[in-house]
A and B are shown apart, each in its own frame.
Chain A
């Protein structure tokens, strides 16, 4: 048992190095040549396969030869550096496992100082990753000094990178080193360059999370307050997000004194970017500060944001209306919504900016579940109807796409009177993207409105889209039919849509004739063998004599598509002769697709 222990303690990686030692003949120069190839693309390929090279060298030579080379020659195209930074994050085993992981620090340190943001960020990401593989001792001996060097670097790039590394080493170092780390972070928060202050502000929340509560109160709060009143709005707005994280860390009784004054000030900042950020983070903020502060502070702040003078801010706030209302404390939710929020919402319905209206339209329907049937009918319905008639199609679409919420509360009938004109208008909108969007909601609408209403009012629209002059619409309409059949069943299909689809096979426009084929492709499976064989197949056969080659080769493609639905007898006796005839067509595309169908259906 003693010898067993010895063997099992031998690190895995050293076995890697030992195995196949006869293969470790590659001179490093040959491999390095590959990493230095003149062609950037080849160099990039080599770097992406750096692990292959490292494996070939073995752990020892990777540490002593490859890594020093990489550290020394870091001056390359950013794309190569990016690949290198990423690779090194997964290199622990290749240098011999966690006890050697610190060998990766020098090249990553250099990469963390380059100018290009994506490279730097990737290097920091890799450093964060391998920090977890350091033992506590190595962390203090190798990793933390690197962070300190970066934090006191001359050029802003290294200081920026340092900001992202404090939080990963802080929890696992001694209290003396912890004090040093806090000091470094403090220094960077008041750095001379706004780039570094932005980086520090964006990591403030993350850093606060790993700090002991006493230091959150003593250190972080003052940094937060300072960054939130920075001279540059780009710094102030990042402090908002940190404020949310900090609020979640503090006990309720400290919030009012320590964070609320700063957050209140941010909600009224003179720069719209900061106010926008507050609006954007409002739900998180609400959860972080709890019900009492929400009632006293956030409700008026939210009202102000909904009435902000910049449309950007109003739109961001409008997006949060539903979530904010949902998360209000239950005892006073309805009162707050009815007396404070709804009046603002009513104003937003007729906002001058379409983005604001459309942001509101994407959430407003959600209020009905919160307010219940009576309030919805009395207060919300007029707003829905107004938005359904909005001049901007996006607003109408957003309302229609969220109908399911209202359906649950008051039933869709209440709306259907106004819904129909809105749908018809969108269905005929001059912009094909709008038409496309409404088609995509058809199956949902059909499900909610029921088959009768659908047949009576919407069926003709669905058929009209099949002959739209934009291909994307015809394609979507085809797919829509399939989804409708899935909802309403094959019998409904046979009675209502199949005859109309097949009728188009005689249309003088060959594009419409092809649409018949596309519909058959989509419908054959959901309609089943009987309808396909009895009704669709004869039409397809007839079209194999079409004078337009595109129609003929689409016949071949259709036969290939619907083949699996048909029985083998039909395939052999009916489909095969038609395909054989098409395979000897004059047109080479027709021939090609006929032959392809024959081989796919194994009819040869």
Chain B
């Protein structure tokens, strides 16, 4: 299970909140709001009715070998007691005892061999479950924007961090035996673990990422289940809620999972690509996880080139219509894809692809146009264009020609001139033909447009007449029915009269 370059880094290195410079010169929303960092605590604590008083136990390192496991177990049990961290002065003594115990457990499981014996597994997993599994609290900011707002940090982090650290060391210990662990780290456990990825606290998600990665690596029986549940989380995110804080982290794990897929790709995996990864591009918050997503997509292509067409057609289908920021991201991803595309695959998608690229070049937003024109600076892409000049040049020529005369931005105009020059050098004959026929083509388009308008005018006239005759018909029918009813009742009356 090889890690990708962007593999989960050590969780202890902390985290950084993205602080993208804004180009528009307006102050960032988060600054205007001057939102202070808030602390969150899960509602779990308040559900614990009676608080147990903790008493310090002897140190693990001083314990005689015979008593070590027993003491370890007692410490695990001690760590199952939860504390209220929103009240920062409550039960300081108890908090310190638990903190020290957790530290000892981490230390012991990380450094000494032979500690992890079978009876400790259920106790350890129980301690972990009690501490980390909780219903995440509602977000204090209903429009929480991960790019702009400070995340709410978990108040009980001083303990929670050590519990996660313990879990990680436990999984990474040379003594760790998957065959024993799988009895306790089961599907239900993993499902709850995955739900925690929605935590707003990036430190927590960082730990979860590394931990889930280890679980996936060591507990083979859970792999399919984990993939399926991640699918469900993504589908819910795409089609139902559009909210889930851990998409980037899950994608990062998937990046390395995809890397390990066997060839030929199973249909389950292709389905995941087409029905989950590609639709993820539609999310409003794409910018938060786009790098990880694009990495996964490219991984798929490198595994199996035949998925290329699915990917490109998928991206074209979901191409952003109104969000230029996302359009630039899509163009970036397309370039990453083209960087590794096989020429035979390129031919299959070049037509729709270059129609979209032409549309981007004529975008009034200069960053979009510029990003598309940069493709011509990429040598590999340029070689693909050159090989298929006969197809591509006619697709983009009209746009290039028009935009070179119309665009408001000088940089774009000069970039277009370079592109036109490149094309001229590639195939001067075709270039001249297209230049010569440009006006004729334009006129053809105008004529076609006029014919369309004419067609619709006729259709609408026809509809008008049809609807009229329809109302008439229904009026006639009503009259007929009435007449029929009258005759019927008349005949009934006459029948009654005769009797």
Contact = CB atoms under 8 A, between A and B. Distances in A.
B390 interface: no
A513 B488 CA distance: 79
A52 B236 contact: no
Q: Interface residue tally of chain B, by bracket?
A: 35 or more
Interface in B207-247: 232, 235-236, 239-240
Nearest to B135: A271
B232 A20 contact: no
Interface string B105-145: 00000000000000000000000000000010110000000
A49 B240 CA distance: 30
Given A15-B470, A195-B236, A309-B43, A4 B275 contact: no
A471 interface: no
B460 A272 contact: no
A52 B473 contact: no
A55 B468 CA distance: 12
Interface string A165-200: 000000000000000000000000000011100100
A231 interface: yes
Given A117-B239, A156-B235, A272-B137, A16 B470 contact: yes
Nearest to B488: A1
Contact of B463 (A55, A193, A311): A55
B484 interface: yes
A257 interface: no
Interface stretch (B87-95, B287-295, B412-420, B474-482): B474-482
A34 B480 contact: no
A51 B455 CA distance: 15
B460 A193 contact: no
Interface stretch (A5-13, A360-368, A420-428, A542-550): A5-13
A388 B326 CA distance: 47
Contacts of A5: 484
A310 B465 contact: no
Contacts of A15: 469-470, 473
Contact of B232 (A4, A115, A195): A195
B459 A195 contact: no
B36 to A, nearest CB: 16
A12 B477 contact: yes
Interface in A50-108: 51-53, 55-56, 77
Contacts of B459: 26, 49, 52-53, 56
Interface residues of A, number: 43
A273 B135 CA distance: 9
Secondary structure at chain A's binding surface: helix, strand, loop or mixed?
A: helix
A152 interface: no
Contacts of A51: 463
A272 B425 CA distance: 67
B463 A56 contact: yes
Given A272-B137, A309-B43, A8 B481 contact: yes
A214 interface: no
A585 interface: no
Interface in A276-316: 309-312
Given A115-B279, A195-B232, A4 B484 contact: yes
A20 B455 contact: no
Given A15-B473, A30-B455, A56-B459, A20 B466 contact: yes
Secondary structure at chain B's binding surface: helix, strand, loop or mixed?
A: helix
B155 to A, nearest CB: 14
Interface string A580-604: 0000000000000000000000000
Nearest to B449: A42
Contacts of B483: 4
B37 interface: no
A115 B317 CA distance: 13
A244 B401 CA distance: 65
Nearest to B195: A232
A315 to B, nearest CB: 10
A19 interface: yes
B480 A194 contact: no
B191 interface: yes
B117 to A, nearest CB: 31
Nearest to A192: B228
B279 A117 contact: no
A16 B466 contact: yes
B480 A4 contact: yes
B429 interface: no
A52 B137 contact: no
Contact of B480 (A8, A20, A77, A312): A8
B273 to A, nearest CB: 13
Interface in B432-477: 452, 455-456, 459-460, 462-463, 465-467, 469-470, 473-474, 477
Interface of B: 43-44, 46-47, 135, 137-138, 188, 191, 232, 235-236, 239-240, 275, 279, 317, 355, 452, 455-456, 459-460, 462-463, 465-467, 469-470, 473-474, 477, 480-481, 483-484, 487-488
Across the A-B interface, the 5 shortest Cβ-Cβ residue pairs: A19-B469, A309-B46, A15-B473, A312-B138, A271-B135
19 contacts: A15-B470, A19-B469, A20-B462, A20-B466, A23-B465, A34-B455, A49-B459, A52-B460, A55-B466, A55-B467, A56-B462, A195-B235, A195-B236, A195-B240, A231-B188, A234-B236, A270-B44, A309-B43, A310-B137
Interface of A: 1, 4-5, 7-8, 12, 15-16, 19-20, 23, 26, 30, 34, 38, 42, 49, 51-53, 55-56, 77, 115-117, 155-156, 193-195, 198, 231, 233-234, 270-273, 309-312
